[in-house]
Amino acid sequence: MRDSENHDLGKCRCTAKLNNMSKRTILILFLFVAAVAAYFGIRAYSAKVPQAADVTAETTVGAESLFNDFATDETKAGVRYNDKVIEVVGAVKDVSVSADGRMSVHLESGDPMGGVVCDFSEKAAPPAIGDTVAIKGFCAGYNFDVLIQRCAFSLAH
């Protein structure tokens, strides 16, 4: 009976050693994965968002034409313009500036129910209503208005 007890005791020591090694390996792997995830998380969080002023426009389009493209066939226009830097030329219908200095310029579309809204994320001098301006920005889609984000003036206004 003693031999079997010693044999079982040896088995337990081996298993205990293996469990400690497995726990250590799992802990090291967990810490490694956490460090890699933290690195990529911090890198993504601190990445600079591109602004339209730093990018060349892929196409130039009139505000009325852009609005009509979306109003006629939103899917086709979305494929053509969405997530691309475009330059929009049109007459200023309205300008609004928020308390923090962000500005939205509404361009005339020829439709009383909608237009082209250009949101500026950086401060800029507001244009006068009725002026014709060229604005480039990232097209974000259509929801009664065509939305252009992170805009910059292309020409002096």
Q: Mind listing the pLDDT tens digit of every residue in the chain (157 residues)?
A: 455 555 554 555 555 555 666 888 888 889 999 999 999 988 888 877 677 777 888 899 999 999 999 999 999 999 999 989 999 999 999 999 888 888 999 999 988 888 999 999 888 888 999 999 999 999 999 988 999 999 989 864 4
CATH superfamily of 52-153: Nucleic acid-binding proteins (2.40.50.140)
Long-range own/partner contacts, residues 16-25 (CB < 8 A, 24 or more apart) = none
* DSSP code, position 3: H
Residue pointed to by tokens 């002026």:
131
**Cβ–Cβ under 8 Å, residues 127 and 97:** no
pTM equals 0.68
**E strand or H helix at 79, and its extent?**
helix 74-81
Q: Where in the chain are the domains?
A: 1-47, 52-153
